[in-house]
Amino acid sequence: MENILKEALAIWTQEYVNQGSNDEGTCTLGDNISTPYGKIRAPIQMQGNVAKWKTAQPVLQFLAANGIKAEYNEGRMD
């Protein structure tokens, strides 16, 4: 399970880079994807709640494909 969660974080980071590392949206803290096995925190270099949400979508799909129920949680405004 740990490997799947690590891969999910790598996917999230790479997706952010692939989309141009955009700072899109409001600055938020604490964004994460929660699973029954723990939270995957948004990579620290990410900026903007819209960018975080957009780039989290492939991660949610990856987790679902691996039988893991997950949910994106937007953090609080900074």
| Per-residue 3-state assignment (H helix, E strand, C coil) for 30-60 | CCEEEECCEEEECCCCCCCHHHHHHHHHHHH
Which carries the bigger pLDDT value, residue 78 or residue 39?
39
The tens digit of pLDDT for each residue in 34-52 reads: 999 999 999 877 888 999 9
What percent of the chain has a predicted confidence (pLDDT) above 70? Answer: 100
* Residue 73: other Cβ atoms inside 10 A: 13
Mean pLDDT (the chain) is 92
Reported pTM: 0.89
pLDDT at 31: 93
Among candidates 67, 68, 65, 29, which has minimal Cα distance to 46? 29
- Domain boundaries, given as residue ranges, for the chain: 2-77
